[in-house]
Structure 1
C-alpha cells in the first residue's frame, strides 16, 4: 500500500509538471501575440493605452505563476509590518535570495496588493532573459543585469538609462532587487571569507549584499534628480524590506518542486518592513553600505529566530534598539496574513488565455493561408 501511495504521488507530481508546461504554452505565446502583433500599432500611436493593456496582461500572467505554488499547497504567510500605505508609492523592494522559488512566491505575495503587481520592475540576472518568461520580462520592462567587476560601471549606467527610458515612461512603481546578487547556497562561502577578511559580520542565513544597484536606483529617483531630468515624476518614497523564511530549518523550495508539488504542503513566511527614503544616506556610499549591512544583519537575526521557533517576531528589539527607535513606525500585523486566491477568478483567467491562444492560432492560420505557396 505504501508503494502504491508513493507511485500515485509521483504520477500526480508529473501530471502537475505537464500542466505547468502546458500553462506556459497557452499563456506566454498569446501574451506576446497580443503585445507584439495585435496591439503593437497602439505602441506607436497611443503608448499610454498600450502600456495600460500590457500591465493588465502582465498581472494575469503573474497570477498564473502564483497559482502553481498555491495549487501545490505551498502557501505564503505575511508577517511583520503592514506596508499597505506603500502600495501606490514608488518603492525599492529589497529581498534576500535563496532559490528559484523566491520569484514565484513573491509574485504570489504581490497579487493581493492592489495595483502593485502590474507596476513592478524586476532587476534580475541576465540569464533570466533566456528562460521561458524572459520575453515577457523584456516586453514589460524588467532590467537584466550582468554580474562581474569588469562590467559593473557599464551595468549601472545601463540601469540609470533603463530607469529614465522605461521605468519612468511606463509608469512603473515598485523596483524589486535581490542585493545579494545570487542564491544563498552559491554565495555563502565567498561572502563569509570576504566578511572575515574585512571585519564584517559573518552571516549564515544570508550573504553580504552589494550596494551598487541599490544606490543607482535611489540616486536616480530622488526628488532633486527628477526635478532636473523628469520634472513632475514621482520620486521614490519607501524602501520595502522582505525577508523570506522557508520551513524545515531553511530548506528552500525551488521552481521544479513548485511545478510538480514534490514536497509536502508547507507555509513560506515573508517578513515585511518599510523605511522612509528620507532615513537613508543616499549620497554617501560608505554610510549607505553600512545601512544596508545593518539591515542584512537584522535579517540574519530574524531568520535565526524563525528557524529556532518557526515564526518571525513582529519587530526586532521590541524593548529597544535601532529598529524600535525608528520614527513613523508602521503598524504590525497582529496575526499572519495568508495570501489566498479566488478559484473562480483563476479559472476565468485560464479560460481567457486558452481562448486567446485559440484565437491567435486561427488568426495566424488564416493569415498564412493568404500567402501563396510556390
Structure 2
C-alpha cells in the first residue's frame, strides 16, 4: 500500500461540526455533548451514573485488592522456588484478565469486530455460542497502534480468548508503577516500566527481557523449556491525541518524510531491542490495528470515549474493530537499525491505509477464508463442526463481544483471598481453644 502523506483534517465536503460555543449561543448548551457524541445521547442520568460509578468502583477496587492479597500470599514462594512463584503470579494475572473482561461486559458492552489477512488464516475462530477464540502461539511479540487509553484492555481480552491472559507482559511508562494498589499489582505481574531515557532504561529492559527468554522447566512451561509470553509494545509510545499528532508532525518535518493521517510515526528502538534480546525464543510478531466506530475524521477517540462516557454514561464505542496480521521474525532486518526502522515505518504506513479504509467503509478489509465458524451438532472425531457456507453473512469477520466463557468464572478472583481468611479464622480459633485448654 502506498501512503499519500495527507495530514489529518476535515474533508472540505463535510459540514463543519457544531461547537459547544455555537450551541451555547442558541441556548442548548446542555445537549451539546449528546449531539456531538458518536454513541448518541447520554443513556443514564445523574443518579444512575452515580450508582454505576459506585458499583464499578466497588467491583474494580475490591477485585484489585483481592488480587493484591493473592500476590502477597504468593510472594514468599520467590525464596522457595522461583518457578512456582512465577506460576502463582501468572494465576493472579489471569484473575486481572477476568476482571477487565467482566468489567467491560457489565459496564461497557459493545460489538467487537475481528478480522485478519491471509497471514493469520485459520487462527481466528468463532465458537458455537458466538465467542472469539484466537489460535495464536504461546510466545510472541505483539504490536499495535495506540488509539485510546483502553486499547490494552481489548488486547488483554484477546489474550484471554487464546488462554494466554496469565502470560501477557506490557511495556509501560515508569510513572504508572506508583499508582496505589494497581501499580503494586503490575510490578508483581513483571510488567516492564521505562522512563523513556534510554541510558537508564536499557540495563533494566535488558534484565527483564533476559528473564523472559530464560530456559527452564517450571509448572507453567509444560513440556517446553520456555514459559508462555505475549510481550505487548506500542511503538507510537502514547495514545493518539492532538499533542501526539503535533509531535508526530514535527518528527516528520525533522526527518523529511510524510506524516501519517490516522496514526503517529512509530519509534523502532524499543521493538528492535526486544527482538534482538529475545533472539530465537520468538518466531512471530503479531500486529493488531485498532479502530473505534464513530470517531470523526480529524478527531481523537480519547476525547470522545472517556472513562465517564464509556462506563458511566452508557456511551461506549458502537464497535471496537481489530485487524490482525503476523510477520516472521526471521524475515526482519534485525542486524540493521536503519533497515529495521524503515521496515517498521512501512508497516505503520500500511496501518494508516487500513485506518483510512476503515473510515471510508466502516470496517477493515478481511480475508474471506480467514475465519473458522463453529456450528451446532455432534463433534467429528472430537473436533467441532465448521460452517463452510460460501454465503455466510459477514464472511471473514467475527462479530462478538467481550465476555468470559462462563458467567461465574470471575469468582476465581476471590478464591485465594477467601481461602486465606478461612485459614486465618481456623488458626485463630485453634489458638483460642489451645489457650483455653492450657489455661484450665
* Equivalent residue, structure 2, for 1:321: none
**Contact 2:157–2:402 (CA under 8 A) maintained in structure 1:** no
Q: Aligned pair in 2 of structure 1 residues 55, 18: CA closer, same or farther (>3 Å)?
A: same
How far apart are the structure 1 equivalents of 2:317 and 2:266?
A: 31
> Is the CA contact (8 Å cut-off) linking 1:257 and 1:263 kept in structure 2?
yes
Corresponding position of 2:251: 194
Partners of 2:313 and 2:111 in 1: how far apart? Answer: 12
Residue 82 (structure 2) aligned to one of 38, 47, 53: 47
Relative to structure 1, the CA distance from residue 208 to residue 283 in structure 2 (aligned partners, 3 Å threshold; closer, same or farther) is same
Using structure 2 for the length normalisation, give the TM-score.
Answer: 0.69
Pick closer, same or farther for the CA change 1:165–1:345 going to 2, 3 Å. same
How far is the alpha carbon of 1:175 from its aligned partner? Answer: 0.7
- The Cα shift of 1:308 comes to 1.4
What are the within-5 Å matches in structure 2 for residues 72-111 of structure 1? Answer: 72-81=108-117, 82=120, 84=123, 87-111=136-160
| Pair 1:40–1:202, CA change in 2 (3 A) | closer
Instruction: Return 5+ residue gaps in structure 2 as ranges.
Output: 1-30, 32-40, 124-133, 219-226, 372-394, 432-440
Match for residue 207 of structure 1 among 264, 267, 273: 264
Rounded to whole Å, the distance in 1 between the matches of 2:44 and 2:166 is 38
Are the counterparts in 1 of residues 102 and 403 from structure 2 also a CA contact under 8 Å?
A: no
CA distance in 1, matches of 2:366, 2:52: 36
The CA deviation at 1:260 is 2.1
- 1:313 corresponding residue in structure 2: 365
Do 1:96 and 1:180's aligned partners in 2 also have CA atoms closer than 8 Å? yes
Change (3 A) 1:341 1:311: closer
Residues 27 and 353 in structure 1, CA contact (< 8 A), matched pair in contact too: yes
Structure (1/2) with the larger helix percentage = 1
Contact 2:112 2:402 in 1 (8 A): no
Using a 3 Å threshold, how does the CA distance of structure 1 residues 97 and 123 change in structure 2: closer, same or farther? same
Query: In the TM superposition, what is the alpha-carbon distance from 1:66 to its structure 2 partner?
Result: 2.0
Equivalent residue, structure 1, for 2:327: 275
Aligned match of 1:163: 209
Alignment of 1:1-40 (within 5 A): 8-37=44-73, 39-40=74-75
What is the Cα deviation at residue 365 of structure 1? 8.1
* Counterpart Cα distance in 2 of 1:286 and 1:50: 40
Please report how far the alpha carbon of residue 95 of structure 1 lies from its aligned counterpart in structure 2 after TM superposition.
Answer: 0.8
Query: Is the 1:76–1:105 contact (alpha carbons within 8 Å) kept by the matching residues of 2?
Result: no
Counting matched residue pairs gives 337
Contact kept, 8 Å, 2:100 with 2:153, in 1: the verdict is: yes
Residues 181-202 of structure 1, C-alpha deviations (whole Å, 9 max, x = no match): 1121131111112212322221
CA distance in 2, matches of 1:367, 1:54: 25
Following the alignment from structure 2 to structure 1, what is the Cα–Cα distance between the partners of residues 246 and 337? 25
Q: Is the 8 A contact 2:156 2:168 kept in 1?
A: no
Alpha-carbon distance change, 30 to 340 in structure 1, aligned in 2, over 3 angstroms? same
Shift of 1:261: 4.9
Which residue does the alignment assign to 2:96? 61
Secondary structure of the structure 2 residue equivalent to 1:118: coil
Bigger Cα Rg = 2
Match of 1:145 among 194, 200, 210: 194
Q: Which one of 159, 172, 176 corresponds to residue 124 of structure 1?
A: 172
Q: Give the deviation of 1:237 after TM superposition.
A: 0.5
Q: Offset at 1:289?
A: 0.3
- 2:9 matched residue in structure 1: none
CA distance in 2, matches of 1:6, 1:190: 33
CA distance in 1, matches of 2:283, 2:262: 29
Give the secondary-structure state (helix, strand or coil) at the position aligned to 1:78.
strand
Q: CA deviation at 1:50?
A: 2.8
The structure-2 alpha-carbon separation of the partners of 1:279 and 1:152, relative to structure 1 and needing over 3 Å to count, comes to same
- Are 2:410 and 1:353 aligned? no
How far apart are 1:342 and its partner, in Å? 5.7
Answer yes or no: is 1:112 the counterpart of 2:151: no
Check whether the contact 1:121–1:167 (CA below 8 A) recurs between aligned residues. Answer: no
- Tell whether 2:332 aligns with 1:332: no
Go from structure 1 to structure 2 and tell me whether the alpha carbon gap of 1:125 and 1:265 turns closer, same or farther (over 3 Å shift). closer
| Aligned twin of 1:301 | 353
| Alpha-carbon distance in structure 1 between the residues aligned to 2:250 and 2:42 | 43
Displacement, 1:257?
A: 3.5
